A = this chain, B = another copy of it.
Amino acid sequence: MVIFMKENTPKTEIESIKCKLELLHCKVHVSKGENSFILGLTGDKSEINTMEIQCNKNVEKILSVKEPFKLANKVFHPECTNIQVGHSSIGGKQIAIMAGPCSVENKEQIMTIAEDVKKAGATFLRGGAYKPRTSPYSFQGLKEDGLELLKLAKEKTGLPIVTEVMSANLIEKVSQVADVLQIGARNMQNFDLLKEVGKANKPVLLKRGLSATIEEFLMSAEYVMSEGNENVILCERGIRTFETYTRNTLDLSVIPAIKRLSHLPVIVDPSHAAGICWMVEPLSKAAIAAGADGLIIEVHNNPENAKCDGEQSIKPEKFNELVKSLSEIAKINGRAI
C-alpha cells in the first residue's frame, strides 16, 4: 500500500501519520515524490483502516501495489535512486563506469590497471579478492591479501572499490575496504547472504542470476532493502540460454523494464555476458544507448596471462577509446560520462 500526501503537507503531519501507522504494526517508508511525500507500507497491514486514512485531510490518494516487490517499486519511490559513493555516483545524470581486472593478482597489476582506468574515465575500481569458481581446484582469489591490495589502489587513485562478498561472515572484513559490496550471480538467491548485506551500511551491487526472471531479480533486491539497506544497484550480466557462441545472452530489455518497474539504478556487465573481449565495445555502446546507468567492464593489462577470464578482458588502451565513444552516446540520451 502506498499513501500519497498532498502538496505542502507539513513535515510534522507526515511524522504524525507515520507514527499512527507504526502503532498498527506495519513498517512505513517515507520518500519524496515530485511535489509531495509518499508513504510506503510493508509488513502486516491487517489492522489498517483504509477508509480512515482516506479521510485524513492531508492524504491525496491511496494506491495498492500489485507487484510482489514493494520497496523496490517505482510506485513507492517515483524518483530514480541516485547513490552517492565518495565522489562518484550511480543512478543520476552521470553514468557510472566500473572497471578493473577480474581478480586482483599482485600489487603491480592492480596499481597499473587502477591508474590506467582512472585516467580513461572510470569512476569505480572493480577487482575480485574472493572469487567464486565452478571448481574447488581453481584459483579462488588472493582473499585478504587481495583486499589489502585494493586498499592501496584506492589510496593511490581515490577510486571507490567494488568487490564481491561470498559469505555472511566475510561482510565485515570486506566492508573495511569495499565501497560497494558485490553479490555474484550464483548468490542472487542466497537469501541468508542478501539479508546480511541488507544490514551492512554499504551499497550493494546485485548481479542477476543466470536464470532469474526480472521479477525474481527485483525480489532479491527487496530482500536487501527489507533489512534497511535501500542502496541496491542491479546488474544485468547475461542469462543462460541455448546459444553457446557467447558465454551467456545479454538481455538488454532488462534496462527499460527495470526503469519502468523500479527506482533502482541498473548497470550492465558486457564482459561476463559475452565472455569475448571483442564484443565488449558494441555491447557497451548498446547498453548506454538503451539507457543503462552504468557499466562494469573487465580491463587487464595482460589479458593473455590473466589468472581468470582473460579472454573477456580488454586492454587499458581499448578501454580508453571505448569511454570516449560511450560519452557521445550518453549525451544523446541526456546523460554524461
Copies in the complex: 4
Task: Give the residue name and chain of the B residue nearest to A285 (CB).
Answer: B289
Residues 104-163 of A at the B interface (beta carbon under 8 Å): 132-137
Q: Is A291 an interface residue (CB 8 A)?
A: yes
Query: In whole Å, how far is A281's beta carbon from the nearest beta carbon of chain B?
Result: 8
Does A283 belong to the interface (CB within 8 Å)? yes
For A214, A242, A283, A332, the residue with the greatest tally of chain B CB atoms inside 10 Å of its CB is A242
Interface string of A263-307 (1 = CB under 8 A from B): 000000000011000110011011111110000000000000000
B136 near A222 (CB under 8 angstroms)?
Answer: yes
Cβ of A68 under 8 Å from chain B? yes
- With A168-B167, A219-B134, A245-B257 given, is the CB distance from A252 to B213 under 8 Å? no
Q: Given the known inter-chain contacts A137-B42, A287-B286, please indicate yes or no for A253 contacting B279, CB distance below 8 A.
A: yes
Which partner residue on chain B sits nearest A168 by CB separation? Answer: B167
CA distance A74 to B167 in the complex (A): 31
- Asked if A167 meets B186 with Cβ closer than 8 Å, knowing A252-B252, A286-B252, A289-B285, the reply is no
Does the CB pair A168–B166 fall under 8 Å?
A: no
Which chain B residue has the least Cβ–Cβ distance from A69?
B135
In the assembled complex, the Cα of A245 lies from the Cα of B287 at a distance in Å of 19
A-B pairs, 5 with minimum CB distance: A211-B211, A289-B289, A167-B192, A186-B189, A286-B286
